[in-house]
Structure 1
Amino acid sequence: MKRIAALLLLASLSANAFAFDPFVISDIRIDGLSRISAGTVFNYLPMSRGDRMTDATAQRAIRALYQTKFFSDVEMERDGNILVIKVVERPSIAKLTIRGNKDIKTDDLKKGLKSIGLAEGETFDRLALDNVQQELIHQYYNRGKYSVSVIPHVVRLERNRVAIDIEIREGQVAKIKEINIVGNHAFTDKQIRDGFELGTPNWMSWYSKNDQYSREKLSGDLEKLQSYYMDRGYADFGVDSTQVTIAPDKQSMYLAADVKEGEIYKISDVKLLGTLVLPETTLRQLVFVKPGEVFNRGAIEASTKAIKALLANIGYAYAKVTPYPKLDKDKRTVDLTLYIEPGQRVYVRRVVFEGNTRTEDDVLRRQMRQLEGSWYSQAAIDRSKIRLQQLGYFKKVDIDKKKVPGSDDQVDVTVKVEEQSAGSLQFGVGYSQYSGIILSASVSQRNLFGTGDSVSVSGERSSYYTKFNVNYYNPSLTDNGVGIGYSATYSKTDYGNVDNSEFANYSTSQKAFSTYLGLPITDFQSIRAGIGLSSNKINSIPGYTPQQLVDYQNEIGNYTIHSTIGTLGWNLDTRNGYWAPTRGGVLSLNAEVALPSSTVKYWKLTGEANHYWPIGHGFVLYLDGQVGYGKTYGQNGISDTQFDQLKAAYAANGQTLTDVRNDFPFWENFYSGGVRDVRGFQDNTLGPRICSGTGTPNASGICNGSYYSYAQPVGGAFKVLGTAELYLPLPFLKDVNTARVSWFVDVGNAYANWQSFSASTLRASTGLSLHWQAPIGPMIINFALPFRTQADDGHYEERIQFTFGSTF
């Protein structure tokens, strides 16, 4: 109505303005301008000096000026042969505010308003404001808020300006009270509605929001309903109608759908037509429906995708596979034709990278499996994307193809990345009743100067230990992907200065240096081999250090342990991301051997297998298993003669000496428990525990007659750990790289040796874990409840565990 009124007004003005005889324009004068320049007006006028002015020309001129939306009124007069144009400028928008909105962000609203000319500094158009009002109401309707009101306030200001205040009263979301499916006989409501996003209120609605109506969700659910039937043979299934009813109070909604089930159809024949660039026998292996089987639309769609994927892998990047089902309603059969259009086979002219402002092109290019000058391959593209995501440098990776202009057989591949922090400055803070405050800090950069090299420097400090570590790795020492790394470590522990220590009472001072090579086997597999040197000085204190450890050190016969360590590892990584993978996993095996020149000759094997499975609706299941085992080999420590002499000396003091020269060295033991192990127990406190001196712990782990009250963890030569974790979807969070919440169950323990293992002594805990990229940096918070414990575990349980840091 407002638009019609405007046109009537325009016609009225035109009629008044055109009451003059035709004349030749000698000059044009414009009156009423303040913000808009005369030159801008002249650009829109359909006449100029020297032109003949007529009623038709005047009509075109007025229409052109109104269409600019700069003016609210335009009049034309004649002063001799001078054309006088009188205008009234529309006001400009001095200020635009939006208030009351919660569902839609203010910045998003302002961006949308600016796209239609409603923004600060723009010319004010009342009609545009009315359209915005209706559009905002429509958007809230789509969110199920039918009681919303959008009230614009326009305040006139000096100098022909206005201030616009848009007040939004969102109201409450209308809840779905009923969903009725009418016409279903073969399946129950519960069966066909399984998996629907919409539903009636239940105890999880606060989380899932399933009871909040959305037109998009309804369309999706109807599509799921159709797929449900068509995947089970109902080829002529249809939804006849849908009804959405809103209660008068606009707080309740009722949904209904009338369906026609039809009959079950079977496949009578499957034909492959079109241009078959591959043998038909090869293509038929990818057809997942066979004559005589029940019609299944999902299997047909999977067949078309598989054929397209195969063709895309050999250069047919734009292949089309179209299914044509022909129904015979009398026989209830379907004659299926898959029509194949491979299109032109193409090869890649160029691979272009965009968005990598810090990372060098070469770092990205060496991850690409799609090469320039070769046939286009979708499999190579997909693998390239995963390899780029696994680097951890990028928040987002998109790969697009585009035809080369003027060419039918060439495409350019564009790799668009969104970089994220590849470096971190992390801090960890912990507290223990006996150890006091535990501080840790590390600086790392996995993409040093954009070269892909990684470097890290870390340090830990508590009342009883200090540790520094420096690592450097170059993943591209050679063109075929061989990498080289270096590591240097210094650590010092002094458990003897800690009252009632949680650890066995002894001190160490270790220095170590190693170098290693990384050798790729395939895109997924790699081998790592290295060699290192270490020197570890161990000091024990008789009476305070557990006698078992004192005996071992006496029998080794050396307080400084020198080791030459060889390492060999194999790794298989199929994860689809670095920070928050949702599918794939890691298999790894690692061996560490103290070579014959070492003071103590031993070997250690560790293995890990984990995998991520997306199980629908944003849930991701993660399973992980770890095992570690160590043993000595050859002859270690003092000679037999020296051992006999030492044994005699012990006997003279009323002590018994057991031969432990071939036991696994206690400073290399595996430990269990902690924030990244069996959660709910303090770090490294699970496994064998022994008293100081010669004391023996009772069933509650208390050491009567020892210097310390509780038995102290010493670790063991064998360790097992299992984790089941379910990552939960957060409805208010779309980016899982920002935060993830999981429910976990951890099971594990450490044992003195393989023979000591007993499933009955495995510890277990359950709880919730939050991984959050907080403003202060990455944060992990665990709330754990041990539910499988032993009598002596109470002293070492820990319900809440956390660590935090910051990234750069």
Structure 2
Amino acid sequence: MNKLCLLLLLSVLAAPLAADTFRIDDIRVDGLQRISEGNVFSFIPVEVGDTMNPAMSRATIRDLFRTGFFDDITLTREGNVLVITVEERPAISDIAIAGNRQIKTEDLMPALAGIGISEGEIFNQLELDRVQQELVRQYHSRGHYAAEVDARVTRLARNRVNLSIFIDEGKQARIRHINIVGNESFDEDELRDDFESHDRRSLYFWRDNHRYTREKLSGDLESLRSYYLDRGYIDFAIESTQVSISPDKQDIYITANVREGEVYRISDVQLTGELILPEETLRRLIRVEPGDTFSRRDMESSMEGITALLSNIGYAFANVNPMPRVDRDTREVSLTFFIEPGKRVYVRRINFTGNTQTKDEVLRREMRQFEGAWFSQLALDRSRQRLERLGYFDNVNFETTPVDGSDDQVDIMVSVEEQPSGSFQVGLGYSQFQGIILSVAVEQDNFLGSGRKVGFSVQRSRILTQAGFSYTNPYFTDDGVSAGYFLRYSEFDTLGRSSNNIASFSTSQAAAGLNFGFPVTELDFLRFGASAQRVDINLPGFFGPPPENPDAPIEEWILQIPGDRPLGISLDEDGDGLLSSSERRITTFRLDGTWSRDSRNHYLNPTRGSLNRLTAEVALPGSTREFFKLSYRFRKYWPIGDTWALGLRGDLSYGDAYDNYDAELGIEPIDPEIVEGNRRTCLIDEVVTFDAGLPFYEHYYGGGVSDIRGFDDNSLGPKDQFCRSVGGDLKVAAGLELAFPLPFVESSGTRLALFIDAGNVYRDWDSFDTDLIRASAGIALTWRAPVGPIIINLARPIRKLDGDDTQSLQFTFGQFF
């Protein structure tokens, strides 16, 4: 019918020449505006010297219409001159799209250009109508059933048009109710647990999962089918699905009619094909046994396990096909796994793309799949993990391609997307402990693309000023031995700052050191270091107002520091407290060693894996004080679903002196009444008056925003006579955390966590007492903001003693160095 209409049209258009047959002496084209005559001549099947007849006239008109450039074409004759009169279609001058939020303009424009609707192209009304219909269909598939698309054409001078597409998306239809009909063995709520779509009654309202889309419904029906097949219902079927919409096109009602069938069990499991490996080795990977309820999930897991094992020993293209034989009379299934290992292949070449700054050798040294070796999927997976953990790349992808003309070789293409690995930062932060923190840092984790780390930082806060420089070469040798060094200078001053919760003293410190690291296994690492440190300490004997009763007897207090003679201390003339102090230079030569085993899947926000780190350091003979310190850190993460994670942490730190030196920090325990009038009485833990173990400037402290939350910074543990923390030789801390995404926010850098913390600081090992353990519970918000990580804790102590300094709200922000 269409062909007949076209022939009739062409016949009418060619009517002026229908009865003429003549030899063409010339050809003229009238009506052209943008298209050149040369283009028209290239489209038509005739030229000067040809004989024009009715058939040639129809062919000429047909070919010109096929170009899509013309709205009307007429052929006439002036003598022996063929005159072609055309009416050009207008050109598109501008395209404007308004009202679209779900489909972005930058996504629509390339799609329109793909069908010829773009600025400068010839306008075709038929194509515009198709675009209008397709946009409506796209919005319907996204649940916007009230969407309307209005396309308008505005004529302009010089045969041009403007296109305006106005989109009224309307509200996305919401699922009012989901109903499953025919389920007898399982409750409907249980069947819908894995659904991505939820009705308005769902507890997951913040995720907008009650908004309807066809894609989500298809995925949910497949989840329903998998649920039954994983529980032995081989004959399960979704017989029909009805999706109805309310008259106002706002509410969706979904009904799925199912037929459950019977439960099937495994009667036999066989292995056939080319086994390659001993059958008992392969059977250990099969997760189904005779007598078990049939499970498609377990069957596929068995298939994947065998495939993975074969791929790890070079069979990159192995196929394992499970072939179930169903006996519906006995309701049993016999499973046969047919193994086709294919040809064993080795890797011919590994190529890298996308690393415009990072040198190939930096990537290649992280590869655990080597050229010339048998292909191993396990080695590739480990290589990907090592490359991702460098921190240089946003994405790391591997592509394995067979080598042309060879059936036992493959090439591996490693494509990376680099991210900035260096920074120049001017930071502004705040913490309740340090106050406002100003910092400047220049860091380069991938210096000149070599993988070497160079850093310089300066920081200034209320109590701390420090500057440092560091350098690390992670591949000092080809075997992965790392080498580095650091230089650091800092000044720490808490004199007169009682809000810091620690005893008042000030230090100036200069340190330098070097370290070497040795990989033991893929997960285990040893690090050894040596450093020299010089500390100038200014330590007052008493800092605070005198007792309320000026007639109270106050003994002369004595303070001893190694190498100094005893210094007598008494009240000053104004009665404001003691201003006398003792200064001492302390020199320490250290050796330290660390063993770590890290299997976390991510350094910043891990969801699985664990971290074990044991550190030991010792101040060598010849140091002003001779001591040792031991610490153990443990982290373990378990994934819960795709986005939740359960984390367990534990920290144990202990130190002691081995030079048998006891430094007196103050007087023997005094009568609390002497202090009661000026400061609260220390009734918690014990008042420490002697520095009998670890030097006080090496003590551990507890409490704070990233420690035992809910308690003030550095407030836990032993106190001096005025209830200021002096730290201790032993610290224990543990915590349990349940992390989950922040509602309404889709960002991997933002999350909430419910936590329980417990721990304390003790004077020494013998002072450990479970009755003194403090504990807290609360919720923490972590946000990786442009200014740096922001941490906000809302905590409540659940186990505390009278006199503890607690904080319900704790926060810190900014990038600190």
**TM-score, scaled relative to structure 1:** 0.88
Distance 1:127 1:34, change over 3 A: same
Asked if 1:625 is matched to 2:650, the reply is: yes
Where in structure 2 are the equivalents of 1:375-390 lying within 5 Å? 375-390=374-389
- 1:277 & 1:297 partners in 2: Cα distance? 25
SS at 1:224 equivalent? helix
1:658 CA drift (Å): 9.6
Q: 2:790 is matched with which residue?
A: 780
SS of equivalent to 1:720: strand
* Secondary structure, aligned partner of 1:330: coil
- 1:441-590 counterparts in 2 under 5 A? 441-496=440-495, 498=497, 502-544=501-543, 551=559, 553=561, 559-590=584-615
The letter of the residue matching 1:553 is: I
Give the Cα–Cα distance (whole angstroms) in 1 for the partners of residues 283 and 131 of structure 2: 54
Label 1:159 to 1:539 Cα distance change in 2 as closer, same or farther (>3 A): same
After superposition, residues 331-410 of structure 1 pair within 5 angstroms as 331-410=330-409
Q: 1:211: which partner in 2?
A: 210
Residue equivalent to 1:671: 701
Q: Does 1:591 align with 2:600?
A: no
- Relative distance call for 1:102 and 1:658 in structure 2 (3 A) is closer
String of CA shifts for 1:109-128, please: whole Å, max 9, x gaps: 22332333323333322222
- C-alpha displacement at 1:511, in angstroms? 0.7
Deviation, 1:671, is 2.1
1:616 equivalent in alignment to 2:627: no
CA 1:169–1:636: 2 relative to 1, 3 Å = same
Identical aligned residues as a percent: 44
Aligned letter for 1:781?
I
Change beyond 3 A, Cα 1:770–1:92: farther
Please report how far the alpha carbon of residue 366 of structure 1 lies from its aligned counterpart in structure 2 after TM superposition: 0.7
1:756 corresponds to 2:764: no
What are the superposed Cα offsets for residues 642-693 of structure 1, whole Å, 9 maximum, x if unpaired? x9xx999x9xxx9xx9994641111111223333323444543333333xxx
- CA distance in 2: counterparts of 1:100 and 1:5, whole angstroms: 43
Is 1:714 the counterpart of 2:748 in the alignment?
no
Q: State whether residues 275 and 341 of structure 1, in contact with CA within 8 Å, keep that contact through their aligned partners in structure 2.
A: yes
Counterpart Cα distance in 2 of 1:299 and 1:590: 43
Contact conserved, 1:446 with 1:454, CA < 8 A, in 2? yes
Q: Give the Cα separation in 1 of the matches to 2:224 and 2:243.
A: 17
d(CA) in 1 for partners of 2:622, 2:505: 25
Which of 590, 602, 609 is the aligned partner of 2:627? Answer: 602
CA–CA separation in structure 1 for the residues paired with 2:612 and 2:217: 42
Report if the CA contact (8 A) 2:524-2:597 is conserved: yes
Task: Determine if contact 1:530/1:566 at 8 Å carries over to the other structure.
Answer: yes
Question: Does 2:173 correspond to 1:161?
Answer: no
SS at structure 2 position matched to 1:750: strand
C-alpha distance in 1 between matches for 2:557 and 2:160: 86
Where does 1:199-348 land on structure 2 (aligned, <5 Å)? Answer: 199-202=198-201, 204-348=203-347
3-state SS of 1:273 partner: strand
- The aligned amino acid for 1:797 is Q
- 8 A contact 1:427–1:441 mirrored in 2: yes
Q: State how 1:86-235 maps to structure 2 within 5 Å.
A: 86-202=85-201, 204-235=203-234
Q: Is there any run of 5+ residues in structure 2 with no aligned partner, and where?
A: 546-554, 566-582, 675-686
Counterpart CA distance in 1 for 2:238 and 2:694 is: 71
Structure 1 residues 800, 66: closer, same or farther in 2, change over 3 A?
farther
Query: How far apart are 1:568 and its partner, in Å?
Result: 0.4
Q: Which amino acid aligns with 2:640?
A: I
**In the superposition, relative to structure 1, how do residues 442 and 714 fare at CA in structure 2: closer, same or farther (>3 Å)?**
farther
Q: Per-residue deviation at 1:436? A: 5.1
With normalisation by structure 2, the TM-score equals 0.87
Aligned to 1:227, the other structure's residue is in SS state: helix
Asked if structure 2 preserves the Cα contact closer than 8 Å seen for 1:678 and 1:765, the reply is: no
Amino acid at match of 2:619: A
Amino acid of the structure 2 residue aligned with 1:570: W
In 2 relative to 1, CA 51–748 (structure 1 residues): closer, same or farther, beyond 3 Å? Answer: farther
1:712 match: secondary structure: coil
* Cα separation, 1, equivalents of 2:283 and 2:21: 80
**CA–CA separation in structure 1 for the residues paired with 2:8 and 2:397:** 53
Please identify, of 572-581 and 495-504, the stretch whose mean Cα deviation from structure 2 is larger: 495-504
- Shift in Å at residue 14 of structure 1? 4.9
Q: Distance in 2 between matches of 1:120 and 1:797?
A: 63
Matched, 1:688 2:713: no
8 Å Cα contact 1:628-1:719 kept in structure 2: yes
Q: Secondary structure at the match of 2:448?
A: helix
Q: How much does 1:381 deviate?
A: 0.9
Cross-structure match for 1:427: 427
Provide the rounded CA distance (Å) in 1 between the counterparts of 2:406 and 2:347. Answer: 12
User: 1:790 maps to which residue?
Assistant: 800
The 3-state SS of whatever aligns with 1:74 is strand
Which deviates further from its counterpart, 711-720 or 565-574?
Answer: 711-720
* Structure 1 contact 748–764 (Cα < 8 Å) conserved: no
**Change in 2 beyond 3 A, CA 1:411/1:176:** same
The question of whether the paired residues in 1 share the 8 Å contact of 2:10 and 2:62 is answered with no
CA distance in structure 2 between the partners assigned to 1:749 and 1:767 by the alignment: 20
Counterpart of 1:702? none
C-alpha offsets along residues 777-805 of structure 1, whole Å, 9 cap, x if unaligned? 43313142233363566755261413124
State the Cα distance separating 1:11 from its structure 2 match: 4.4
| Counterpart residue type for residue 407 of structure 1 | S
- Quote the offset at 1:516 in angstroms: 0.2
Letter in 1 for 2:765: W
TM-superposed deviation, 1:575 = 2.3
The Cα shift of 1:252 comes to: 1.2
Alignment of 1:727 with 2:739, yes or no, is yes
Partner of 1:32: 31
* 1:482 and 1:519 in contact (8 A); partners too: yes
Cα separation, 2, equivalents of 1:6 and 1:764: 84
Kept in 2: contact 1:319–1:342 (CA 8 A): yes
How far apart are the structure 1 equivalents of 2:745 and 2:120?
A: 35
Kindly state the Cα deviation for residue 202 of structure 1 after the two structures are TM-superposed.
2.8
Separation of aligned partners in 2, 1:177 and 1:48: 69
**Residue in 2 that maps onto 1:700:** none
CA distance in 2, matches of 1:766, 1:436: 23
Point out where structure 1 has 5 or more consecutive residues left out of the alignment. 697-710
Q: State the number of aligned residues.
A: 772
Task: Provide the rounded CA distance (Å) in 2 between the counterparts of 1:368 and 1:135.
Answer: 47
Rounded Cα–Cα distance in structure 1 between residues aligned with 2:93 and 2:44: 28
Please give the alpha-carbon distance, in whole angstroms, between the structure 2 residues aligned to 1:123 and 1:392: 49
Aligned position for 1:707: none
Report the residue type matching 1:423 in the other structure.
Answer: G
